[in-house]
């Protein structure tokens, strides 16, 4: 089985993260290492996940001048991660330079994707930072820019997937956090959808953190979400 689920390993300690990882199989999900665990554990942690044969999405959301971002993306490629991301709002030149630095890696290059509008944000949040557009309008704008830069896809809310798929084609990867199974807490997420609805809309990958990691039995919740996707 090639699962669409990427589990966001947002844990405080390596022991907590590995206690989930060691109960599951790489066919059940891919794993995302984000700012919290990478800051405390660094590449050593990513290498441990690679040793266990998991694909790793290194989610550090780079946003800086083009040279700095491109070099960070090259470091991620050298680490052998499956996917890496940057913020589309860093601009076209930044995205193009990041894409270009991956050319020598050929088919071994990680998927390079751009975060559009964070799934925790709504209209007011955008207005407060000077963006007078709805999240959907801004996601569409940034996704076109990412595609123009030659990136492999974007991170967006599942609510935007249907329209992006129509605009950007079948091959452009749509990676969606903001996944909440029925009955689970939204927390800070705002533009959300259930796992099955996200897959029906056309998401390629579902990034899921707390509904799995904070569950009493995370491995069991992962299995049941995978099962719910079989029929969608």
Binding residues for substrate: 10, 32, 59-68, 119, 180, 189, 209-210
Answer yes or no: are the C-beta atoms of 135 and 155 closer than 8 Å.
Answer: no
Which of 4, 55, 59, 204 is an active site residue? Answer: 59
Site for ligand OMP in 52-81 (CB under 6 A): 59, 61
List, in order, residues 6 or more apart from 27 with CB less than 8 Å away: 1, 2, 3
Count of beta carbons in the 10 Å neighbourhood of residue 32: 25
Question: Which residues within the stretch 176-195 sit at the binding site for ligand OMP (CB under 6 A)?
Answer: 177, 187, 189
- Which residue has tokens 């956090």? 177
In this chain, which residue has its C-beta nearest to ligand OMP?
Answer: 209
CB within 8 Å of 60: residues ≥ 6 apart: 34, 35, 38, 72, 76, 84, 85
10 vs 137 by CB, closer to ligand OMP: 10
- Catalytic-residue membership of 59: yes
To the query of whether residue 61 is one of the catalytic residues in this protein, the response is: yes
- Look-up: residue for tokens 């974007």? 154
Q: Which of 31, 76, 81, 115 is close enough to bind ligand OMP by CB under 6 A?
A: 115
Residues tagged active-site: 59, 61, 64
What does the binding site for ligand OMP look like in residue numbers (CB under 6 A)? 8, 10, 34, 59, 61, 85, 115, 118-119, 155, 177, 187, 189, 207-211
């Amino acid at each position: 089985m090639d699962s669409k689920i990427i589990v966001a390993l947002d844990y405080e300690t390596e022991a907590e993260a590995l206690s989930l990882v060691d109960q599951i199989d790489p066919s059940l999900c891919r794993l995302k290492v984000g700012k919290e665990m990478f800051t405390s554990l660094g590449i050593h942690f990513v290498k441990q996940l690679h040793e266990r044969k998991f694909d790793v999405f290194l989610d550090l959301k780079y946003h800086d001048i083009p040279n700095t971002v491109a070099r960070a993306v090259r470091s991620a490629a050298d680490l052998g991660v499956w996917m890496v991301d940057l913020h589309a709002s860093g601009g076209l030149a930044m995205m193009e330079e990041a894409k270009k630095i991956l050319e020598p890696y050929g088919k071994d290059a990680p998927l390079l994707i751009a975060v559009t509008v964070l799934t925790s944000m709504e209209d007011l949040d955008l207005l407060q930072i000077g963006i007078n557009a709805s999240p959907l309008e801004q996601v569409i704008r940034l996704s076109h820019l990412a595609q123009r830069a030659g990136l492999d896809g974007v991170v967006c809310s599942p609510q935007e997937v249907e329209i992006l798929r129509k605009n950007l084609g079948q091959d452009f990867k749509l990676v969606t956090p903001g996944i909440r199974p029925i009955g689970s807490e939204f927390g800070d997420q705002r533009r959300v959808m259930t796992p099955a609805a996200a897959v029906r809309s056309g998401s390629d990958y579902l990034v899921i953190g707390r509904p799995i990691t904070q569950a009493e039995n995370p491995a069991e919740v992962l299995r049941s979400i995978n099962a719910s996707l079989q029929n969608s």
